[in-house]
Amino acid sequence: MYARINLSGTNYDINSLGLDARLLLEPNVKELSNIYYEYVSYKMFPSVMPLFTEEYTYSQSDVVGYYDNNNLVAFTLMFKYNSKNVAAAQFAWTYHKPKLRLGFRSLEWLCAWYKSLEYDYIYLGDDAEYKRQLDGFEVLGPRLIRPF
């Protein structure tokens, strides 16, 4: 089942989240790739989709970096479908301090950020229990879409 956040149901405040997050206008692909490698190694995923260099620089991509003591330790790769809908395509972090809960806190930050930009929805991919803790969480039901 697929999940999304209805941003009209959220009230996260970027300033009160205490997260050093920055939109990376010129992403360092090598640095991001190293973080992704650390992330999938830590999680011991049996199979992963590679991230291609071009994904970081597509015009419809946003890359948000998360910093600890001014060091980049995590990122989220976002994909903008249009001016109202965006998908969280990939999150990765080094797990250098698990108590930071960067995975969950980054989602709260993204909700606040994209809501401030007047987006309606953030698509999260598969449903997961931790995602259900976010304000505005929705599971998408079956929809029949007519072809053009």
Provide the residue ranges of all domains of the chain, joining segments of one domain with +: 2-139
CATH topology of domain 2-139: Aminopeptidase (3.40.630)
pLDDT at 141: 81
Listed residue (40, 35, 19, 37) closest to 72, CA to CA:
35
Residue 112 has pLDDT above 70, yes or no: yes
Q: What are phi and psi of 36, to 5 degrees?
A: -60, -45
Cβ(104)–Cβ(91) under 8 Å? no
* CB burial string 66-101: b at 16+ within 10 A, e below: bebeeebbbbbbbbbeeeeebbbbbbbbbbeeeebe
Query: How do residues 51-109 score in pLDDT, each as one tens digit?
Result: 999 999 999 999 999 999 999 999 999 999 999 999 999 999 999 998 888 989 999 99
Query: What is the predicted pLDDT for the residue at 148?
Result: 67
Looking at every residue in the chain, the average pLDDT score rounds to: 93
Pair 10, 136: CB distance under 8 Å:
yes
Find the mean pLDDT for residues 7-15: 95
The pLDDT value given to residue 144: 62
